[in-house]
Amino acid sequence: MDKFVIVGGTPLRGEIPTSGSKNSALPALAAALLTEEPVTLKRVPRVRDIRTMQRLLVDIGSKADVDGETVRLETPQIVCPEAPYELVKTMRASSLVLGPLVARSGRARVSLPGGCAIGGRPINLHIFGLEQLGARIHQAHGYIEAEAADGLRGAVVHFDRITVTGTEDLMMAAVLAKGETILRNAAREPEVVDLAALLTRMGAKIEGAGTTTIRINGVEKLGGAEHTIIPDRIEAGTFLIAGAITGGDVAIAGCIPEHVGALVSKLQQAGVAVTQPDATTLRVRSSGKLRSVDMTTEEYPGFATDLQAQYMALMTQAEGISIIVETIFENRFMHAQELARMGANIRLDGRQAIVAGPYRLTGAGVIASDLRASASLVLAALVAKGETVIDRVYHIDRGYEKIEAKLSQVGAQIRRVE
């Protein structure tokens, strides 16, 4: 397994480009299953989860042509409507093919999602929604088996709780269903809006994406399309925190500032200067003197759960006590004990973490437990005294494209050891 070796203490200075969004590209790839015509996606990040999804689509029947950040998919027919465990065990997004497969071929057999051990994700909401659309579903041997031999039909689906992948999955299923589907308490994340934009280009009729109510009028057939994936707001946020925690001066280029508004607000409250030089760039400047600021994760447009671990690393360097409350996932503080190994003062109490600072972090051997936790350890290592070795960085490779190269170009002392 690869490791990162990081020597901390260098303020980061320069410009970092933002890659395309992993969490937007994954449902966009799945959407290609809805048509027999070519779908071309641009700005697709070259990360582990994307490669896994591409292999899955090829097994299902897609022809994939990858040229750098451009992926062209063509699925003349569904050869095997299945997502096997052995292929998708490392990826949470496997459930995203459930809706498209049932809509296109009338059946699907999908392994329950794998990925990070950060707590349960409500696949039951996907199942309930598909049942409302007329699918017959049962679960056995770790698989969800769905069937709709006569096709799906429109319905009103109310999500008991907000679910991003559930909203995306049902939206993809509903575009080929007969009649109108209304999704209530739908997720408002930018990734949902981006998927709706792609589906609309393919010929779908969708209104309300980005609000809590989405209306979809089913069509008989979708066509091909070309679409550019939005920038990755979580990557942009991670690099904003990297500039702040090191007391640096970093410009994050090619992002959408509105998508990280909640984080920018917290950084400014903490004493970090964040400006917007142009429409797609954010600049973060910090003297290194930070104030503690409480934070609670929420669905968009609130503070993203995928930035909670990175924010906790930042708060270890802030003056005072900060309380971080995690409301989305029940097991997302596994990075706290690794930060403590580096000298952080963190106490866990259920779904909240109490962080006291500033404490001088020192290099240590630590283990990445999930995708965003590994990013928090990288950030902590950038400010720690001495050398930090981070093991199991395959987690970070799932969602960050060449993070060590991007950080190196702004002065970080980081290298990958195979």
Structure-token pair, residue 156: 């009103």
Cα distance between residue 157 and residue 193, in whole Å? 18
Query: Out of 28, 30, 108, 116, which one is annotated catalytic?
Result: 116
Amino acid making up residue 294: D
First to last CA, the chain: 7
Is 24 in contact with 47 (CB distance < 8 Å)? Answer: no
Q: How far is CA 371 from CA 2, 225, 304, 306, 399, in A?
A: 14, 31, 14, 9, 7
Token pair 């290194």 in the structure block, residue: 288
Residues composing the chain: 418
Q: Please state, as a whole number, how many other Cβ atoms lie within 10 Å of the Cβ of residue 66.
A: 14
* Structural contact between residues 108 and 145, judged by C-beta atoms closer than 8 angstroms: yes
H-helix segments, 15-64: 22-31, 48-60
Q: Is 116 a catalytic residue?
A: yes
Buried b (16+ CB within 10 A) or exposed e, 396-406: bbbbbbebbeb
Q: Which residues are catalytic?
A: 116
